[in-house]
Amino acid sequence: MCQFSSHAPRRFSAVLLLAVAGLTNAYLDQGVCPDFQNIAAFEIPPYLGRWFEAHRYPAGFEEGNTCVTADYGAIDDTTISVTNTANLPDGTLDTIVGTGTATGVPGQLVVQFPGEPVGFYNVLATDYTTYSSVYSCSQIGEFRDQYAWVLSRTEEMSADSLTAALDAFESNGIDTAVLQPTPQGAGCVYAPVPPKI
């Protein structure tokens, strides 16, 4: 007679989680992607320029990175350049350049970097001048593959701007406790702002 352990489903889920984690750089946990809403009337021109990463979900490709910036420039009416720069743990400055293209869904861009799969960039909320709340979630079986960023126009974010940014996540059922602060300011080496195209 066979006896099945009550822990078998849990063990299977843990093994599956490890297997799926090997396929992604994002924050992976068990659950269903929330039914989130992007900003209703997103405008690209005022969103362009430099943003500083203030907080982020843990992600393999950003592990140990500090002083992270994102520079957005206009290519045409629906496509922008995306220049992400970070100070790596060994002190070097690392830059990757890609593109973001409006999808037709309000507040959504599809972002592409060389040699990487495309990703969705959803602006939940922004006032264009102080903060932006950005999120992405893909369902992989019983797991969700998530990215989240709080962006700031300045190296140090005001308490009011941070509250507004976090409210955008919380009102969409997105866990803000997972967000980790990104070191900025003193000790950072920033790349020059890319020239306008």
Confidence of residue 15 (pLDDT cuts 50, 70, 90): very low
Q: Which residue has the higher pLDDT, 27 or 45?
A: 45
CATH number of 25-181: 2.40.128.20
Question: Could you give the CA distance from residue 58 to residue 53 in angstroms, rounded to a whole number?
Answer: 13
The confidence score (pLDDT) of residue 195 equals: 83
Query: Hey, where are the domains in the chain?
Result: 25-181
Q: For residue 23, which phi and psi values (nearest 5 degrees)? A: -100, -5
Q: What is the pLDDT of residues 79-113, one digit of tens each?
A: 999 999 999 999 899 999 999 999 999 999 999 99
